[in-house]
Amino acid sequence: MSEQEYNFNGNAHGPDLSFFGPDKVAILAVDRRVQPFVPDLAIEVASPNDKFAALLRKVHRYRDCGTSEVWVIEPELRKVFVFSSLGDRVLSATDQLKTPLIPDFTQPVSDLFSQFPQ
């Protein structure tokens, strides 16, 4: 989902992109602006104005509230920072982006940056 807001310990936050699994569909409140749960996966795309420290604060907030995995996509560096209960990692253009949260999902990291100027 794009720009959906979720309840992170009483505060509404909307990651740039998010995903939640089928187990949360039953509690999805389509008539509410803020969902009463946190996503399983939150994705933030760093903009030129973003401070990395601010993005890391978001990562910690999301993870502390129960989001299983957070990706920070950094177009300028052409890197994807993955923060997960399975371990944190940094992916570059030659890597494949995968997550156990979405079975059979594989995305070449290089494809993420094809629309961004170098």
27-53 confidence digits (pLDDT tens): 888 888 898 899 999 999 999 899 999
Domain count, the chain: 1
Domain assignment present for residue 13? The answer is: yes
Domain assignment present for residue 39? The answer is: yes
**pLDDT (0 to 100) of residue 2:** 62
pTM of the complete model beyond 0.85: yes
CATH number of domain containing 84: 3.90.1570.10
pLDDT band (50, 70, 90) for residue 1: low
3-state secondary structure of 30: coil
Domain assignment present for residue 21? The answer is: yes
Q: Of 30-39, 63-72, 81-90, which gets the smallest average pLDDT?
A: 30-39
Please, are residues 46 and 75 in contact by the beta-carbon 8 Å criterion? Answer: yes
- CA–CA separation, 118 vs 76, rounded Å? 7
Domain assignment present for residue 14? The answer is: yes
